[in-house]
Amino acid sequence: MTEMVYGTVPVKGGEPILPKWWRTVDKWSLSCILMLFGTGILLGFAASVPLAERNGLATFHYVQRQVVFGGAALVAMALVSMLSPIVVRRLAVLGFLVSFVALALLPFFGTDFGKGAVRWYSLGFASLQPSEFLKPMFVIASAWLMAAGQQLGGPPGRLYSFFLMVAIVLMLAMQPDFGQASLVLFGWGVMWFVGGAPMLLLLGLAGLVVLAGMVAYNNSQHFARRIDGFLNPEVDPTTQLGYATNAIQEGGFFGVGVGEGQVKWSLPDAHTDFIIAVAAEEYGLILVLAIIALYTTIVVRSFFRLMRERDPFIRLAGTGLAATFGVQAMINMGVAVRLLPAKGMTLPFVSYGGSSLIAGGLAVGMLLAFTRVRPQGEIGDILRGRLR
């Protein structure tokens, strides 16, 4: 019936998987991801060496691990991007259930590695952060529920996804991990908006977020300390924000030179949360603008390709993934320049981190799968056909 109404375009029968994938995938976004990963390796040679020396490890220990984790992430991205949207949805819903249970069990079996927030499982050879995997899986599960709720006689999908979102945000806030909680809330809110939620409800949700922030400020020293530090007009030069701000100022337009930066010797998180400060100091504003352009290209191209998509599930899921990906990058860089309060959040594909790299590979792989060219008429063609 769908083909009778909308029509289709011819598909090459029996085409091998790899040629078909290469013909239909967004090559610009794929190239941008590879360049971001290459930039992360380049910056890792500078940012992670001091940490390796402090920990008594080989000079390029963390670079080697980033290559391994990043290679696994790129393989996962390529494999997932070859799957059909239905298979991606099924695997993501299963992954959501597993990661949701893992997040719920963190208070009992997790560890904080001395950072004051129980966010990880220690595996001995590495650590696992369930929230990194939960984010993209939750986006897919919510999109599925919302799309099902739009069908005649469908379940109240928006309501179900709302309850799931609240449960996840509360569990993340209890760690505490307000950065990941805000990403989950933002991704869900974008999909809710794209799915046709009334503006009045969105304003009410925004009011609840402000109220929740006030409660967190009055009851969480961790949250209050970060907000107070952000609102303070004077930056303590001995804090991470102070070191990052000074590094960005020192870098100027062209940077101080490769290997000449000093912030990596002062910042304990120079290879993760504040990797952009290392880029700004050694390579200057030019590299920072190039990194921003890469993220912008991925997000904008994804949105444009999703605008031509007819399937509501694909539109919602792709929009949520692209928005979450872009906002995470924006938050990471915004913290470094004091546009946002400090949050423990990596820069996708650039920062060091096993969980964040592999989860990012899965998320972008799903986004590439949703934005591939499929045998369908575009919305504009359909509307023109109906008007004839």
Tens-digit pLDDT profile for residues 192-229: 988 887 777 778 877 877 887 787 777 777 677 777 77
Type of residue numbered 20: K
Return the pLDDT at 263. 82
Return the pLDDT at 14. 64
Q: Point out the least confidently predicted range of 48-52, 101-105, 140-144, 378-382.
A: 378-382
In a domain, 6, yes or no: no
In a domain, 9, yes or no: no
Among 36-50, 139-153, 316-330, top mean pLDDT goes to 316-330
| pLDDT of 97 above 90 | yes
Among 29-38, 217-226, 278-287, 373-382, top mean pLDDT goes to 29-38
The candidate with the shortest Cα–Cα distance to 165, out of 147, 192, 200, is: 192
CB 133 within 8 A of CB 359: yes
Query: Greater confidence, 179 or 85?
Result: 85
Q: What is the pTM assigned to this prediction?
A: 0.89
In a domain, 48, yes or no: yes
Q: Point out the least confidently predicted range of 32-41, 235-244, 264-273, 351-360.
A: 235-244
In a domain, 116, yes or no: yes
Helix axes 275-306, 240-251, angle to 10 degrees: 80
In a domain, 8, yes or no: no
Task: State the Cα angle at 183 between 181 and 188, rounded to 5°.
Answer: 100
What is the C-alpha separation between 140 and 183, in angstroms, rounded? 14
Domain that holds residue 70: 15-387
pLDDT per position as a tens digit, 42-64: 998 888 888 888 888 888 888 99
Return the pLDDT at 349. 94
Is the peptide bond preceding residue 341 cis, with omega within 30 degrees of 0? no
What is the residue-averaged pLDDT of the chain?
86
In a domain, 162, yes or no: yes
Give, rounded to a whole angstrom, the gap between the first and last alpha carbons of the chain: 20
Number of domains, the chain: 1
Return the pLDDT at 6. 43
Helix ranges (DSSP H) in the chain: 2-6, 17-24, 27-47, 49-54, 61-81, 85-104, 106-109, 130-149, 157-173, 178-194, 199-219, 221-231, 240-251, 275-306, 312-336, 354-370, 379-387
